[in-house]
Amino acid sequence: PVVENRGNAATEEGVTVGAKFGVDGKTVCWSDRFHGPLAPGQKVELKPNNGPTGKTSWVMTRGCHNVTVQVDDLNRITEFNEGNNRRVITINSGTGPDLVIKAVTVKEARQGKPLVVEVTVANVGSEPVPKGSRVGATLYAIDGEKRPKVLSWAISRDGLPVGGNMPLTIQCDSSLVTEQHKFLAIVDDVNRIAELDKTNNRAEFEIANGTPAEPRGDAPSK
């Protein structure tokens, strides 16, 4: 990366101006050869010169990846703004499956009954998901939750061709109460599939649940 000193003072002489390079949350290499001073407005290109295994590069693999560069990752330099030292870009291999949620169909949503939702997953990528691979969808509750709460999930190993659709039926163990509910459905939430795009895997929806379940058997209606 090209690093610029946007402050009003030079970095200290002899102090390393370094950078760390990561892929999908793992450090792959770093740069620590350049030493200050770096004057205000001055720019310098930092190239990797070492890494955890001694390598200075990463071999691209299939799917979508988040590449992170962080300058002064070891906080050797005292800066007036530490919040602008990191940049993330997304790259992909150009070929592979891409799973999206095409539709969400509520099959059962009544008071006192378990929630049943059918999530239709589509492969809009350039390659199929092989048979045997686990394609899953998870349902979360997001009603006033600080973080999404897992309700249930469904998994298929049938494979999914390019342009194909796959219905996954998710049944929750707990029953609903009478009110409006917000939910989040995510396909491949645990990243089993190497996809072209990981930013299009979710869908939010609401359910207005106000109808009590019909009695069954000999239970009298009230």
Q: Is 151 in contact with 140 (CB distance < 8 Å)?
A: yes
Phi/psi-derived region of residue 14, left when phi > 0, alpha when psi is between -120 and 50, beta in every other case: left
Q: Where are the domains of the chain?
A: 2-92, 99-209
The domain defined by 99-209 carries CATH number 3.40.50.2300: no
Q: Residue 108 has what pLDDT?
A: 86
Peptide bond into 161 cis (omega under 30): no
Q: What is the pLDDT of residues 151-167, one digit of tens each?
A: 999 999 999 999 999 99
Q: Residue 220: exposed, middle, or buried by beta-carbon count in 10 A (0-12, 13-18, 19+)?
A: exposed
Phi/psi-derived region of residue 157, left when phi > 0, alpha when psi is between -120 and 50, beta in every other case: alpha
Q: Residue 112 has what pLDDT?
A: 77
Domains 2-92 and 99-209 share a fold: yes
Q: What is the pLDDT of residues 99-127, one digit of tens each?
A: 999 999 999 887 778 889 999 999 999 99
Contacts of 70 (CB under 8 A, 6+ apart): 19, 20, 22, 85, 86, 87
Q: What is the pLDDT of residues 2-40, one digit of tens each?
A: 999 999 999 999 999 999 999 999 999 999 999 999 999
* CATH class of the structural domain 2-92: mainly beta
Q: Residue 199: exposed, middle, or buried by beta-carbon count in 10 A (0-12, 13-18, 19+)?
A: exposed
Mean pLDDT for 50-74 is 93
Q: Residue 215: exposed, middle, or buried by beta-carbon count in 10 A (0-12, 13-18, 19+)?
A: exposed
Q: How far is CA 58 from CA 55, 92, 128, in A?
A: 8, 14, 26
Longest dimension (CA), the chain: 86
Sign of CA dihedral 18, 21, 25, 28: negative
Q: What is the pTM of this model?
A: 0.67
Residue located via tokens 């939910």: 183
Q: How far is CA 84 from CA 44, 80, 137, 170, 210, in A?
A: 16, 10, 35, 42, 48
Phi/psi-derived region of residue 132, left when phi > 0, alpha when psi is between -120 and 50, beta in every other case: left
